[in-house]
């Protein structure tokens, strides 16, 4: 299984970028993207930026990764999923059954 990290572009030449996540920097390819600017959030998998992220999506992915770390270390993780507590899960629109008219 591969995990993607939500990283922020610190500097780039259009082909490679220095990206940061959790205080660590990595050099990654940005050739799959259309020249993302410095400050952009990108999803990085195997040292390749595979898509742009908006700030909210990057935050949610980072929280999920923090929760995995907390679980593996026997720490509390509920605070990282505050938006899900006391909510019934909802299917995305494309997975819901279509309404059939009679």
List the domain range (segments joined by +) for residue 32. 5-81
Q: Is 91 within a domain?
A: no
CATH number of residue 56's parent domain: 2.30.30.140
Cα–Cα distance between 59 and 75 in angstroms, integer?
20
In a domain, 62, yes or no: yes
Contact 28, 21 (CB under 8 A): no
Q: How many CB atoms lie within 10 A of CB 60?
A: 16
pLDDT tens digits, one per residue of 40-90: 999 999 999 999 999 999 998 998 899 889 999 999 888 877 777 777 777
pTM, two decimals, is: 0.75
Number of domains in the chain: 1
């Amino acid at each position: 299984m591969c995990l993607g990290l939500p990283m922020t572009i610190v500097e780039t030449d259009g082909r490679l970028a220095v990206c940061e996540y959790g205080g660590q920097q990595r050099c990654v390819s940005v050739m799959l993207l259309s020249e993302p600017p410095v400050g952009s959030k990108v999803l990085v998998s195997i040292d390749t930026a595979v898509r742009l992220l908006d700030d909210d999506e990057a935050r949610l992915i980072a929280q999920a990764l923090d929760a995995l770390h907390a679980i593996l270390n026997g720490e509390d993780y509920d605070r990282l999923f505050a938006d899900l507590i006391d909510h019934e899960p909802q299917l995305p629109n494309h997975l819901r059954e279509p309404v059939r008219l009679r």
